Chains A and B, each alone.
Chain A
């Protein structure tokens, strides 16, 4: 930077950050090039991608911009809802209905001069490897497990051992109420998102017989309205959980059922919470986790201090409790491990039973798996003709179709990779 003072850059602008960049600290790696080199890289060369412009995304964008990142891209497929305004601080009432990525990018460029934020209003899946290859770093502030698995698998697949530039550090944050976590993933080098899938809370699932026959909680009545009654009345018409009329319909029917069974507690808010699987979210927790993510991005981009190895977890409900630890890479991780996952099953298990087990498995988390061996199809969920053709296999024993130690490849629409299982019989 030279001595110009203009409205987009001025002397002293980076007084605070420069204290960190002009000098190493006692724990700074010797490879850190203090001074102009690192500032030039950060401010003129580094290109960073932010996935998600919601609760975490808004915070991430602001922090990155103030820290000196000047070429920022942001992807988000959502539009602004009124319930975002209690924490997504780049949006105002007048912005409700507009794309988050666009509004957030404009706000940042207005407030922090000289920063270029390029928005993309759409899905991360719309973009290919060439697109992701242009960035030095990726920071994720997502609320969807599926999207995280996709970007994680994509970045792991992109790693070419011959080309160090192909390894894109992924920094991922997540919050729920007063709790949250931030982590650094070096694809193929350290534990990836898929490696830690079993750390996620199991989503509350109510057995269908409870919903249909023995409701006890208001939630059971709401599930009845959305899972059974809606399709019964409206057929294929899709339930839109963002449509207040649809929520209203569910609420009224759940309430009626609750009255019939003398169950108390069905409210509009609970109805919405159950059908949309709403996770409580507050500005302060998002600020902590987003700051932690950006701090890691800054440290990685500048080498001014060691970055997080590799998981920071925070619980703020009872005092301030945090835990920083190294999550271990899983050798049998279906994305970054390279080894197939060993599955031990009984000899008399049917294909259907195996599928049930896979769906239940916390470290896999798939909805509708299709199975095949290297030589034949076992069961395919789609297209309908193939589903029908392979359906008879559901009742067959797995051991009739796959030998001991044989491989099964699992695919699913929600799974951004092929999962290999090695079957062992017990």
Chain B
């Protein structure tokens, strides 16, 4: 065989498309997760991080690398010998005595030149005392605070909770091997959740073109090759129709019926090795799984928007996230109308993504086009309903398309104020029974923070006494409490490198989820124990 020289390879690649630009290449491994939409959300985000601890700079490192737009690191303190020893983003011994934030920021921005970073040399308590300072804090899209004193945290969390448009706050606390964190937010609308399950293929209520294909397929008139290449959705639509005709219009429900349904598909095989029929049998679960509206989505229909739809049209005073959440609720209400509309399919809009299946190219492409066309029609109907019912609510067209594509998996999370859970002592007590190690660790960290704020010596007894005030009278502390309290007594002020790095990754993951709205952030307190290497969640 003739060996073409490299010249020919070169010629081939200069045609139309070539290698992506350097930014795309740099971000390649993350764009495969959150795509250009997630990247652009990151790039327009502005994060404030309070205190330049080892944990804080670890968090920031993991946000600067993927390319957030801007961060400000706030800290008024000078670098201590201890800081110089445990923080990778300080210049070791030579940083001692200089301002922590100012020393750290250049070493962080150096990681990614497209990120804008700023050091702010002010005590947070001072910032929170003036209107100007408070407005400045509220101007960020996300605020992260590590090991703030309890009073400061109370002031900060109340400030940010007071107003739907204020940024979410991630509270991080750690000492030695133990830590917890909490995201305070009002509402998080997740429009692109990357679910690993495929949406409904509409097999039990086929749209006209799909029904027509199924109806016109006569197994006996196909040659063996054609028979072995009928796509499984067609087989299942036919089998469902037949079953319904024989069972008063009902679908197979109980186990025995489902088995009979599968057996009927097996009987259709003309040869042992027809993989398309094997596949249809394996996919038969879809038939009973297909409901017009999954219960999780139905429960979203019942939500009252936090911001009345009318106010979202006036952009004055409402934040970007408020506007986007309001738009999301408009889309949810439109979705409800879509499902109820006599013009519509009576269920969620069709998604055009098909799984791979055993069939020939032509059938697959035909089926794919059919789904795409129908999905297009239903998206158009959705937009019509949107326009007719919410004429004054402008929703970005790209957002509508994204929403329609993901209606099977969209999600709304409603969060809590920092500290709200603890106000219900009986809830905390029952959590201590059901999740003793997580609850104990969380309570111990709260006690530690309280003792440190008040300047009380951290002893096991002092911690226990403080914890008891957080529980109903006469609550017995479990064995797990001894572990948590003992560990904190051992290392009450330790920001150890491995815990800092672990939290740095955890908090950055959550921040990315909050900013991109593509993955589901944690609700409640996520508790971390690196003695036994576990994480858990309480107070959700």
Contact = CB atoms under 8 A, between A and B. Distances in A.
Given A295-B533, A322-B534, 10 more contacts: A23-B491, A82-B22, A85-B26, A252-B15, A279-B29, A292-B530, A292-B533, A316-B509, A319-B523, A320-B510
A290 interface: yes
- For B12, B27, B520, B522, the residue with the greatest tally of chain A CB atoms inside 10 Å of its CB is B12
B25 to A, nearest CB: 5
A341 B117 CA distance: 58
B93 A291 contact: no
Contact of B505 (A11, A24, A272, A285): A285
- For A268, A288, A312, the residue with the greatest tally of chain B CB atoms inside 10 Å of its CB is A288
Contacts of B67: 86
B177 interface: yes
B505 A324 contact: no
A131 interface: no
B32 interface: yes
Nearest to A59: B501
Interface in A78-95: 82-83, 85-87, 89, 92
Given A19-B494, A66-B86, A280-B32, A234 B356 contact: no
A67 B498 contact: yes
A308 B535 CA distance: 13
Contacts of A261: 361, 365
Interface residues of A, number: 95
Contacts of A15: 80-82, 85-86, 494
A66 B88 contact: yes
Task: List the 10 shortest-distance A-B pairs measured between CB atoms, nearest first.
Answer: A248-B13, A287-B505, A26-B486, A12-B81, A288-B505, A15-B82, A13-B85, A291-B501, A291-B502, A66-B497
Interface stretch (A97-105, A153-161, A189-197, A214-222): A214-222
Interface string A27-71: 100000000000000000000000000000001001100110000
A82 B23 CA distance: 9
A245 B505 contact: no
B300 interface: no
16 contacts: A10-B81, A12-B80, A12-B81, A17-B494, A19-B492, A20-B494, A62-B501, A67-B498, A86-B30, A235-B1, A245-B10, A294-B498, A294-B501, A305-B531, A308-B532, A316-B519
Contact of B504 (A182, A282, A291): A291
Interface string B286-328: 0000000000000000000000000000000000000000000
B37 interface: no
Contacts of B510: 320
Nearest to B181: A320
B359 A216 contact: yes
B482 interface: yes
B3 A284 contact: no
B531 A319 contact: no
B143 to A, nearest CB: 18
A135 interface: no
Contacts of A7: 92-94
A319 B505 contact: no
Interface stretch (B58-66, B388-396, B397-405): B58-66
A14 interface: yes
B514 to A, nearest CB: 13
A166 B206 CA distance: 66
Interface residues of B, number: 99
A312 to B, nearest CB: 5
A222 B365 CA distance: 17
- For B13, B194, B229, B498, the residue with the greatest tally of chain A CB atoms inside 10 Å of its CB is B498
A16 B82 contact: yes
B109 interface: no
B465 interface: no
A20 B491 contact: yes
Contacts of A144: none
Interface of B: 1, 3-4, 6, 9-10, 12-13, 15-20, 22, 24-33, 54, 58, 61-62, 65-67, 80-82, 84-88, 91-94, 96, 110-112, 176-177, 193-194, 229, 356-357, 359-361, 364-365, 482-483, 485-487, 490-502, 504-506, 508-510, 512, 519-523, 526, 530-537
Contacts of A112: 88, 92
A6 interface: yes
A14 B54 CA distance: 13
A282 B92 contact: no
Contacts of B357: 216
Contacts of A291: 498-502, 504-505
A319 B506 CA distance: 11
Given A17-B496, A298-B498, A25 B26 contact: no
Given A10-B93, A12-B81, A17-B497, A82 B490 contact: no
B533 A246 contact: no
A306 interface: yes
Interface in A229-270: 232-235, 237, 244-249, 251-253, 255, 261-263, 268-269
Contact of B62 (A17, A283, A298): A283
B26 A83 contact: yes
B62 A27 contact: no
A226 interface: no
B501 A216 contact: no
B17 to A, nearest CB: 6
A296 B533 contact: yes
A251 B509 contact: no
A11 B93 CA distance: 10
A278 interface: yes
A15 to B, nearest CB: 3
